[in-house]
Amino acid sequence: MTTTAKISNGVKSPFPKTTYERNAEIYKILANPKRLEILNILKKYGERTVEQLIEILSLPKANVSQHLALLRHARLVTVRRDGLNANYTITDPRIVEPCRILRELWKNK
């Protein structure tokens, strides 16, 4: 049984508390501009190796690997091993939709 947050007068929150907790964790991960950039690159260009992402982002390998590890732990990207190469893909392209929506909102201001 899932619990929902009681607001007032018997009105309950639309989602279980665990939904908000999970969303907050994802938002923390997405709060980093480089991680957003990685997700948008993977959405637009498809599967990329760590080396390709290093070149595109102009970041040290350690930084790119750390960002990818966080994204992988959150299940926002998946990795496919091909020999010595690690190939990353975005798990669900819809995760970058908030980026597009915010860009549109700011463009119209």
Helix (H, G, I), strand (E, B) or coil at 10: coil
Asked whether the beta carbons of 47 and 88 are under 8 A apart, the reply is: yes
Question: Band of the pLDDT at 80, cuts 50, 70, 90?
Answer: very high
Give the pLDDT score at 27: 92
Question: Band of the pLDDT at 6, cuts 50, 70, 90?
Answer: low
**Chain position carrying tokens 């948008």:** 40
Question: Band of the pLDDT at 65, cuts 50, 70, 90?
Answer: very high
- The residue segments making up the domain with residue 51 are 33-107
In a domain, 13, yes or no: no
In a domain, 12, yes or no: no
Give the pLDDT score at 53: 98
Q: What is the CATH number of the domain that holds 45?
A: 1.10.10.10
Asked whether the beta carbons of 78 and 91 are under 8 A apart, the reply is: yes
Q: Number of folded domains in the chain?
A: 1
Rounded Cα distance between 4 and 1, Å, is 10
